[in-house]
């Protein structure tokens, strides 16, 4: 590693320096001049080519899970990882602690709720029974609500859209009716 540069480090790889964004708590573990083994996530957009580095594979996998959520890009995922340890972030998602998640810069309540709904059973911890209480009682196990949330609606809006739709219809029909009523 060549140098620290704000929230990133510069890594020498066979004579070429690469800027790699890393979680804040990992910077102190990587002294200048020492070799560094990092798990890299690469994100390419038309105006940027960003590298995100992690000292552990499980943290990179959590980063990948976070970026799979609609509304969470790589920089928001890194902001979430910077608010606590990997275990704290996994625990917050599994328990539905949206307040903890919204402490990350650029992450609002709607995105935090979507992260909980999408990832609560994927973070490697037992999800709390009340992790998605913010959806309301009827919505907590409703696949139609979860589908509408995945389409970008807030959990409250999704539940409201489904309020007048017959519960006995198949999930896909309920979603169609809810979207037509909008």
Q: Is residue 43 within 8 Å of 74, Cβ to Cβ?
A: yes
- For residue 137, pLDDT over 50 is answered with no
Beta bridge partners of 147: none
- pLDDT at 34 (0 to 100): 84
Element (H, E) at 3: strand 3-5
Domain residues of the chain, as ranges? 3-131, 132-182
The CATH fold of domain 3-131: DNA polymerase; domain 1 (1.10.150)
Element (H, E) at 20: strand 16-21
pLDDT in tens, 52-85: 999 889 999 999 999 999 889 999 999 999 998 8
For the chain, what is the mean pLDDT? Answer: 83
Q: What is the pTM of this model?
A: 0.67
Q: Which of 3.40.50, 1.20.58, 1.10.8, 3.30.450 is the CATH number of 132-182? A: 1.10.8
């Amino acid at each position: 590693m060549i140098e620290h540069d704000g929230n990133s480090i510069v890594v020498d790889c066979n004579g070429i320096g690469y800027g790699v964004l890393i979680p804040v708590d990992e910077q102190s573990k990587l002294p200048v001049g020492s070799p560094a083994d990092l798990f890299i996530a690469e994100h390419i957009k038309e105006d940027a080519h960003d590298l995100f580095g992690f000292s552990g594979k499980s943290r990179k996998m959590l980063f990948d899970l976070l970026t799979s959520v609609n509304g969470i890009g790589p920089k928001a995922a890194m902001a979430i990882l910077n608010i606590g340890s990997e275990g704290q972030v996994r625990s917050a998602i599994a328990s539905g602690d949206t307040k903890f998640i919204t402490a990350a810069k650029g992450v609002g309540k709607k995105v935090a709720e979507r992260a909980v709904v999408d990832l609560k059973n994927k973070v490697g911890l037992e999800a709390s029974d009340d992790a998605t209480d913010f959806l309301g009682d009827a919505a907590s196990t409703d696949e139609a609500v979860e589908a509408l949330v995945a389409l970008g609606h807030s959990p409250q809006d999704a539940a409201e859209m489904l309020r007048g739709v017959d519960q006995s219809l198949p999930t896909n029909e309920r979603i169609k009716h809810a979207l037509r009523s909008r």
